[in-house]
Amino acid sequence: MSAPSHVRGATATPRLAQTIGQRFDEACARHAAREAIVSAHQRRRLRYAELRETVDALACALLRLGLQPGDRVALWSPNNLEWAITQFATAKAGLVLVTINPAYRLGELEYALNKVGCQALVTAPSFKGGDYLAMLAALAPELAHCAPGALQSARLPALRTVIRLGPEPTPGTLNFEALLTAPSAAERAALQTLGERLQAQDPINIQFTSGTTGSPKGATLSHHNILNNGYFTGEGIGLVPGDRVCIPVPLYHCFGMVMGNLGALTHGATMVYPSDAFDPLATLRCVAAERCTALYGVPTMFIAQLEHPSFAEHDLGTLRTGIMAGSPCPVAVMQAVIERMHLRGITIAYGMTETSPVSFQTALDDPIDCRVATVGRVHPHCEVKIVDADGRTVPRGVTGELCTRGYSVMLGYWGDDAKTRDAIDADGWMHTGDLASIDDDGYGRITGRIKDMVIRGGENLYPREIEEFLHRHPAVADVQVVGVPDARYGEELCAWIILRPGMTASEADIRAHCRGQISHHKIPRHLRFVEAFPMTVTGKVQKYLIREAMLKELSAAQA
């Protein structure tokens, strides 16, 4: 009889028992002269000693503003040096960093800030056509007349302080750089005392992850969750002091801030940001110019670099290792990454925000078929099992729902005990909703999704959330959103819409309804107006038939 699909990540390496701030101070002392961060697009770089001075200055300033440990500070910005400084400063001050997707628009921002009661917001002025300050003014017009740090907004009742990046003044806000003045000796001592009181199990980060049942949920993560996950992920790719990690993935997501920043910090490596958002040419140039030894990305990012017309002009010979995650990697792409980009140690990682994020990772010496057909073996100190619909552990090789338990499982969804209980059972198992199997050698294979999640270019998109937004259009009677295959992004969104009797709407009308209100990647690529949905006899929509119909249509159009 086959062994049960229940595996544990055995290791002789103990978990880190520190807070992020304690590990940060230790790393800055040990690697003081090494470069800590290079922000290529800003032409700025800091050594570890300089980073500590800057981080301590911001941490003291945040406390001086009246923020207390446990208060929530939102960060709405693309990748930059200020993002990392804020990440480490909030951790040292015991403030819970709430990472806001740079693509968020009005409705999403308002929901996120209010859901977790953010007392402060650090924001970029704008990004990719999105005027952040204008959107914030629309939500909180009181900013125009209040003193900085004294906001009282009807729509954002918890928010008191807005800190903006950039040198220009904005009414009601503080400028980020103005907060970086040297703290007093008393403030430094108070910060040190506070750091000694903080506990590794304290919440320190909230990341919003959309759900199939509607509004995004705030996955609450502790120092212990994300510091250890960054550390063991870095161990998995063989990071050592002096490595230079190119991080083109977004920092607001676990891939960037945990696997990237914390993975580098815990190993004395350099965090290298090639651009504010992914750009294949900027990434290639940065890897070559900064002599990067590690590179992160989702498969579409690696494909974009390999296919760039100037790929051959860039010397990538210093690359050795890295991480590819977010969606399955085709064999040809993996071969090209290993051979043409010199990433012989590239690993595949799998996980979810609620598990800090990595649960599985391939090893440096795994053969190529393991790196494309599996997600590797279970991570150190993590426990995984595959269960059937009745919750019973299935034998090796049998498909079921992937469940994980251990240090990496989140504290819960902020302010939502019911959804937390739905996700984490009484024995501490996180039910991922992913269909998977584990073979006799312990390698995991992700075979599908119980939920209808769509993965577009490494971004997790949830049809229910998008359906609920489209329902707000006055002409929409009903809508169903599914994922359909796409050569570039892996999957794209498709919406089938039933209009209200006597009303009309065009594709342009639907897209105009979405523009500026939800992130661009959540706007369905394919829109179809239909009279009815395929249904079961009990009245349940058969989404798989919608997908099949779209596959036939798209295949015919392509032919």
User: What are the pLDDT digits (tens) for 70-128?
Assistant: 999 999 999 999 999 999 999 999 999 999 999 899 999 999 999 999 999 999 999 99
Q: pTM of the predicted model, to two decimals?
A: 0.86
How far, in Å, CA of 541 to CA of 459, rounded? 25
Q: How far is CA 468 from CA 124, 462, 476, 478, in A?
A: 29, 11, 11, 9
Q: Is the pLDDT of residue 68 over 80?
A: yes
Q: Is the pLDDT of residue 241 over 80?
A: yes
pLDDT for residue 453? 75
Listed by start position, the domains of the chain span 455-558
Q: How far is CA 268 from CA 17, 39, 530, in A?
A: 18, 17, 57
pLDDT for residue 540? 59
Three-state DSSP class for residue 270: strand
User: pLDDT class for 213, splitting at 50, 70, 90?
Assistant: very low
pLDDT for residue 214? 58
pLDDT for residue 300? 81
Q: Averaged over 337-365, what is the pLDDT? A: 96
pLDDT for residue 459? 83
pLDDT for residue 538? 44
How far, in Å, CA of 273 to CA of 290, rounded? 10
pLDDT for residue 557? 85
pLDDT for residue 451? 66
Three-state DSSP class for residue 486: strand
Q: Averaged over 51-76, what is the pLDDT? A: 98
User: What are the pLDDT digits (tens) for 502-533?
Assistant: 999 999 999 999 999 999 999 999 999 999 88
CATH number, span 455-558: 3.30.300.30
